[in-house]
Amino acid sequence: MNDPSASLLQSQFALLARVGQLLASALDAPQTLREVLRTLEISGHLGRGLIAVAEPESGDLSVHAAHGLDHDDFQAVCYRAGEGLLGRIVESGRSCAIAQVGEDPCFLDRLGLYERELPFIAVPIRLGGTLQGVLAVQPDAPDDGLLDERVRFVELVADLIAQNVRLSLDVSRGAGRPLDAERDAQRRALRHRPGFGNLVGHSPAMMRVFDQVRMVARWSTTVLIRGETGTGKELIANAIHYNSPRARGPYVRLNCASLPENLLESELFGHEKGAFTGAVSSRKGRFEMADGGTLFLDEIGDVSAAFQAKLLRVLQEGELERVGGGRTLKLDVRLLAATHRDLEAAVESGDFREDLYYRLNVMPILLPPLRERIEDLPRIARHLLDRLGGLQRRPLRLTTGAQRRLVQHHWPGNVRELENCLERAAVMSESGEIDAELIRIDRVRERSSRRQPGVAPGTLPGTPVATTAVPGAGATSVAVDTGDAGPAVEQGERQRVIAALERAGWVQARAARLLGMTPRQIAYRVQILNIPMKRI
């Protein structure tokens, strides 16, 4: 039998490494702390993370970051020394672990954040022997006898984040140490580059993508970014370049599907004067422009077979000749490529060269569609609304009903479709509040023959599907998003999930299998549909 403590220790080592990577790549200390709390929940099953900081004069604790709550919900919450579980840590300087937090008379729960029947862990954050604050988390399952091991792990995390807590306080109080002008300019430039700041998500699938990006960014390896249209492939390419040693070099982009083949060759390789009609002067191509930096070729799967051969030579030899020229140019270019096409099928059919496929597919990164990480949708929606609100110069907010409406759709157009939907809703909102009635989604989507039988493209199992007749095509199944039905659809979905849970003895993993969902998908539905879980 497996030793639970050994298994826990192994997972904790991996999680510590991930936290260390987050801290090592940090430029924004407050954001990094929020990412650490999110990572503890997703990868460590330590949710409801909270960081409270000690005021230097009074010693009181004020809540600085909390995972799962909006900022306004915690910014005014404070604890004096000896007050509540957190204040007790200030007074004693020792860690606190409770098997069932609701049974402790000192438990105040001013934030309404914690489950009373679950364990609770809080540890001091120290830097140079001085108390900087408190880190608190809650395991997501009842005590299994390994609470002490989890406490020691949380203490290690607190030691790791101590410096970032100090930096975060300096930023929030405007008391950071002065930096020389060059370093300050570099930090401002990096902070505004389109790197990890635009990548939103905490689902396991996206956490794996972020880890891959961090690892591959350090090297000059060719990367093939794959995923459906609208999943954010260009954002991943941006993050790789701007977090790589080539970040100071040029970053050149080209959509291969936007140009015909005769122009694509000139655009990528450049041309000499007189090479063809209209070539009145010599011109550098995108490869030359990217020398010493990165070239991102989007929709690489759309180039012709003839052009694939020319591209292959450049990738193999690292050199090219301009159109109409005879001089060979040696280049140092890191290539990133992206496609939404099934390249393996294209290789089998002879539409894509096998040798080019292997040359591009050195490090593949697969972006999951939005329907497979639906738990990320509320956070993505808030990120998009923040950006839209900046353009409209007003705050924008989603109501709970609107969020529920969004998570019921299968989003075949992925994040791009979500962005369009939110922009349309924002335009229609007079007050800046977006409720369910303003969420207008394309209601009919033809079912793809590639999907499993009975499931429309991108539809999570259980999405209402109607069968209708398309003139001249016989009976065809299409997914109909009954958006205007709102509460009726939500109630039907709720009853369907409850029925599956009852059949499965209220074990979410079994219910997920009955519904054809992942455990995270059904857990998210339990939360968003307010389904009280029974314990049997």
* Mean pLDDT score, 255-277: 78
Task: Enter the CATH code of domain 485-536.
Answer: 1.10.10.60
DSSP 308: H
Backbone angles phi, psi at 225, to 5 degrees: -95, 125
Q: What is the dihedral of CA 113, 115, 119, 125, to 10 degrees?
A: 0
Over the stretch 186-200, which tens digit does the pLDDT of each residue have?
A: 444 444 444 555 678
Q: Of 359, 283, 296, which is closest to residue 323 (Cα–Cα)?
A: 283
The domain limits of the chain are 4-173, 197-366, 371-459, 485-536
The pLDDT value recorded for residue 144 is 87
**DSSP element (H, E) containing 51:** strand 46-54
Backbone angles phi, psi at 461, to 5 degrees: -50, 130
Confidence band (pLDDT; 50, 70, 90) for 36? Answer: confident
The pLDDT value recorded for residue 460 is 35
Amino acid at 9: L
β pairing state of 397-398 and 474-480: unpaired
Over the stretch 106-146, which tens digit does the pLDDT of each residue have?
A: 888 777 788 888 999 999 998 877 888 999 999 988 888 89
Task: Enter the CATH code of domain 371-459.
Answer: 1.10.8.60
The pLDDT value recorded for residue 273 is 77
Q: Does domain 4-173 have CATH number 2.40.30.60?
A: no
Does 263 score more than 90 pLDDT? Answer: no
Confidence band (pLDDT; 50, 70, 90) for 225? Answer: very high
The pLDDT value recorded for residue 180 is 39
The pLDDT value recorded for residue 452 is 36
351: left (phi over 0), alpha (psi -120 to 50) or beta: alpha
Segment of 216-230, 245-259, 476-490 carrying the highest mean pLDDT: 216-230
* Helix, strand, coil in percent for the chain, rounding step 5: 45, 15, 35
Does 488 score more than 60 pLDDT? Answer: no
Over the stretch 297-335, which tens digit does the pLDDT of each residue have?
A: 999 998 888 888 888 888 888 888 788 777 788 888 999
Confidence band (pLDDT; 50, 70, 90) for 506? Answer: confident
The pLDDT value recorded for residue 278 is 64
* Mean pLDDT score, 230-249: 89
Confidence band (pLDDT; 50, 70, 90) for 247? Answer: confident
The pLDDT value recorded for residue 196 is 57
What is the second-level CATH architecture of the domain 197-366? 3-Layer(aba) Sandwich (3.40)
How many Cα atoms within 13 Å fall on the side-chain side of residue 238?
Answer: 13
The pLDDT value recorded for residue 102 is 87
